[in-house]
Amino acid sequence: MKLLPRLSNKVLEFLKSPYKPLDNQVSIRVIPILAIFPFAGFIYLVFYMNKFGVGYESLYFNVNDCIAILYEKSVLFFLIAILLIGASLPLLSVIISFLLEDEKKEEFKNWQILIFVILCLGILVFTFYEFKVIPKRGAFWLSILLFLAILIYLFKSKIEGIVMGAVCFMLFCVLYAVTDAESRKKEKPKFDVVLKDDNKPLKILSETDSCRYFIRKTSDYIFIMDSCKNKVITYPTSDLKSASFTP
């Protein structure tokens, strides 16, 4: 019975203590973590294509696709970052103004740092909800893991925090890919796609097609879903002649 009061006292003591940044610097050892970005693109494509029954990793893998998908999705990441920063700035100014009211406060407390982190994560989760980037349950658990990663980075080890943050990013890519694929199945995008042929141009997809819709284009292949036959049909991009859209 004495364990709980003792634990609560330690927690309160920690929260009231001044925040002391870690001395350990982020060294060259974290450079290999940069390799996670192409791998994140690979993870996205594997889980995205798997929702259509396509084994991308064993049949269609191309490292250029893994890099290209990051550029394709960077617009969304940039928009989320802008919204997060824009929403955090007023919040940060309010916190700073509150802290400056008392001239004796010369340093941040641990509880102040944690509150700011929680509020920023709340903004991030709200952004995920608003844009429907990942499922609500996934956003909830991802925010918890990200909170733990930030705690580790701030109070235990910067290296370990960055590694756990990378794990969170990988999990986000999985959730994002699955959500993206489900959206594609509902939207069933269609436009005119024509391939080169020895005899005459071959139209593999049209806006009026009731069965087929576009899944994805990679460096080497175009993936078309035929829902009537329940099959995914692939065509080499080298044979692509034209693609037209109706605005």
In the chain, where are the structural domains located?
3-186, 192-244
Range with lowest mean pLDDT among 20-34, 110-124, 140-154, 212-226? 20-34
The overall average pLDDT reported for the chain is 82
Q: How confident is the model at residue 103 (pLDDT cuts 50, 70, 90)?
A: very low
Q: What is the DSSP letter of 19?
A: P
How large is the average pLDDT for residues 233-246?
Answer: 83
Q: How far apart are CA 166 and CA 48, in angstroms?
A: 20
pLDDT digits (tens, 9 = 90+) for 164-211: 888 998 999 999 999 999 999 999 999 999 988 777 788 889 998 999
Question: What is the pLDDT, as a whole number, of residue 27?
Answer: 61
Range with lowest mean pLDDT among 37-46, 94-103, 161-170? 94-103
- Phi and psi torsions of 166, nearest 5°: -65, -40
How large is the average pLDDT for residues 10-35?
Answer: 73
Which residue's entry shows tokens 């141009």?
201
Q: How far apart are CA 225 and CA 217, in angstroms?
A: 12
Question: What is the pLDDT, as a whole number, of residue 221?
Answer: 94
Is residue 4's pLDDT more than 90? no
Is residue 44's pLDDT more than 70? yes
pLDDT digits (tens, 9 = 90+) for 215-227: 999 999 999 999 9
How large is the average pLDDT for residues 85-94?
Answer: 60
Question: What is the pLDDT, as a whole number, of residue 223?
Answer: 96
